[in-house]
Amino acid sequence: MKTVTETFNIYTFDELTEKAKLKALDYYVEHLTDCDDFTDDCLNLLHDLFPNSKLKVEYDLSQCQGDFFNFYGTLNLTDLYSHISSKLSSKQNRFYKYILKEWACSCEIPCWNYYTVGNTSIIDAPVSAMEHYGYSNIPYSDIETINTIARDYLSEVCESLKNEGYEYFYPDSDYIRSYYCDDNECYFTADGKPYYS
């Protein structure tokens, strides 16, 4: 039997060459980012924003022109109202509450296929029902304003989660440095591969 002891140097992240730091960055992205974790985080955030809704997420964040983030499913209109009521006029608030009481508690947001929350007409279904039953004096201009405010808010949520996705899947070197150095005191071989003792 023969015992061999190999000796080599290990380095902190800051001691690596720029090329080796890029290798460490690639390793982080490949091994420490997880789609399921990001999806779960998004679903938890959406549940906090819309606790009575049943929503799912879909996204493509490959840093290409067609990138998107969307959520779909059943959106509870009372959940939504809590976020947009301050932007509605008193007349629009009264109409929204009337819709909630008499006509609808939710709206369906379809999945992708070039159709996002930014295209959703939040209260079109109850308005169609009102038209069907011959209601007069339907406030169409207020309905359009409500839909626009709702779409803008939902689009902002999607844009925020899209940006969080970019930060998660494509972290900058400062974040990586913080993770490797400040949070975990990691060491690396000269080529940037993490060293585990």
> In this structure, is residue 185 part of a structural domain?
no
d(CA 165, CA 169): 6
What tens digit of pLDDT does each residue of 125-135 get? 788 888 888 88
Q: What does the DSSP 8-state code read for residue 167? A: H
Q: What does the DSSP 8-state code read for residue 112? A: S
> In this structure, is residue 182 part of a structural domain?
no
> In this structure, is residue 158 part of a structural domain?
yes
> In this structure, is residue 178 part of a structural domain?
no
Query: Residue 145 half-sphere exposure, CB side, CA atoms within 13 Å?
Result: 14
List the domain range (segments joined by +) for residue 91.
34-170
Residue 168: which H helix or E strand, with range? helix 140-169
> In this structure, is residue 45 part of a structural domain?
yes
Number of domains in the chain: 1
> In this structure, is residue 75 part of a structural domain?
yes
Q: Which strands form 54-60's sheet, in the order they lie side by side?
A: 54-60, 68-76, 106-109
10-residue mean pLDDT series, the chain (197 residues): 83 86 80 83 97 94 85 94 97 93 85 67 82 87 93 94 89 74 78 82
> In this structure, is residue 109 part of a structural domain?
yes
pTM listed for this prediction: 0.79
pLDDT given at position 49:
97
> In this structure, is residue 179 part of a structural domain?
no
Q: Please, what is the angle between helix 77-84 and helix 140-169, to 10°?
A: 90
